[in-house]
Amino acid sequence: MFKITILDRYILKNYLTTFVFVVVIIITVILVIDYTEKNEDFLTKNVPLKEIFISYYLNFIPYLVNILAPLLVFIATVFVTARLASRTEIIAILSSGTSFLRILRPYLLGSLIISIITFYMYGWVIPRASRIRHGFENVYVRGQYFFDKRNVHIKVAPQSYVYMESYNNTINCGYQFTIETIDSGRVVDKLSASRILWVPDKQKWRIEFWKKHSFDGKKEIETRGEVLDTAINLSPKDFETQHMLYEQMTIDELNAHVALLLERGAEGVEPYKIEKYTRITYPFSIIILTIIGVIVSSRKSREGVGLQIALGFALAFLYIIFMIIGQSISKDGSIDPLITAWVPNIIFSFIGLIMYFRVPK
């Protein structure tokens, strides 16, 4: 356990306060632009200002801060370190016998604090806020979603398959419903109905005017009925809008949803895996970009620190581009999302390491 010195407190205080300042400035600019773009929708639909502020922007701000955290941290790091370098403070610290690695310690502590907060927010807090924000947008910006797919096939159990000709998500009702149990390529039983309706109080499906065919070798047994309440591994959420659904899930919910999609053999599991692995690797980018930011802006030269800072920003944007490209490649399933999530961190860790050995100490 290391002792926090006056130097640590001095750099850490400057680092964190500058980060907060950068967050306030950048987020304010983005919010003004966003409000300008959506103002017409708000006025057209007579959205109360209280609703706009509480349901939308209070839930949008944490999302923005978190998603921009690596870049905002980098900007704060560059500003703080460049100011120290311009005042010859870094040279004075190094001249006193303090190593460059020792100067990095308060930066690493600050970035670790931000990384832990980011991981917690990204994993559990922001997804819940995103549900409220997306719900607001669905009502006032994008408009109500209508499920319009036809001839829907869903695997609900290892040997059970559901078919619906159509589904009305406004009343949670499916039409021309069929559920089949298939064992070793042979239909064991088949239940069909004119419609199936979700019953919220019972959290079950109500199958109306149904008939069931059971097969035992060459023997077929048919039963009929008017109403049957049953539990199926299916819910109305499966027919809601999938727009940015992965943003609205906590890490635990992402794990459960990925497992469900894999069990069903469904397509489109990659975006959820990408989101899961990104949330795990994202905090590391804050630490990596902090180190790179210190290295590129700590050297004082007669020409100023403009070139080093420009190089640092180029590396930061290149890092973000690597992340975006990796996510795009993973979406088609050609590369494991776990690999593409870690590759930018690994590459830029090596770049930071090379830059560290080349910086004057």
Q: What's at 78, amino acid-wise? A: V
Q: How far apart (Å, rounded) are the C-alpha atoms in residues 166 and 280?
A: 38
Distance, in Å, from the CA atom of 276 to the CA atom of 280, rounded to the nearest integer, reads 7
pLDDT tier for residue 301 given thresholds of 50, 70 and 90: low
> Quick one: pLDDT at residue 355?
87
pLDDT at 2: 65
What's the pLDDT score for residue 320? 83
Residue 241: per-residue pLDDT: 86
For 194-222, the pLDDT digits (tens) are: 999 999 999 999 999 999 999 877 788 89
Comparing 262 with 359, the larger pLDDT belongs to 262
Can you spell out the DSSP letters for 27-58?
A: HHHHHHHHHHHHHHHHHHTT--HHHIIIIIIH
List the single range of 85-89, 216-220, 287-291, 307-311 with lowest mean pLDDT.
307-311
Q: How far apart are CA 196 and CA 176, in angstroms?
A: 8
**How many other C-beta atoms can be found within 10 angstroms of the C-beta atom of residue 308?**
22
Q: Are 318 and 339 in contact (CB under 8 A)?
A: no
CB count within 10 Å of CB 191 equals 20
In this prediction, residue 123 carries a pLDDT of 96
Three-state secondary structure call for residue 63: helix
pLDDT in tens, 324-355: 888 888 877 778 899 999 999 999 999 999 98
In degrees rounded to 5, what are phi and psi of residue 170? -75, -30
As a whole number, the mean pLDDT across the chain is 90
Q: 236 falls in which pLDDT band (50, 70, 90)?
A: very high
Neighbours of 162 (CB within 10 A): 23
- Which phi-psi region, left, alpha or beta, contains residue 244 (left: φ > 0; alpha: ψ -120 to 50)? left
Classify 177 in phi/psi space as left (phi over 0), alpha (psi -120 to 50) or beta.
beta
Q: In residues, how long is the chain?
A: 361
**With bands split at pLDDT 50, 70 and 90, how would you rate the model's confidence at 308?**
low
Q: Please report the beta strands in the chain, taking only residues with DSSP state E, as ranges in sequence order.
A: 152-157, 160-168, 173-183, 186-199, 204-216, 219-230
Pair 341, 280: CB distance under 8 Å:
yes
pLDDT of residue 256: 93
What is the structure's pLDDT at 305? 61
Give the pLDDT confidence score for residue 238 in this predicted structure.
92
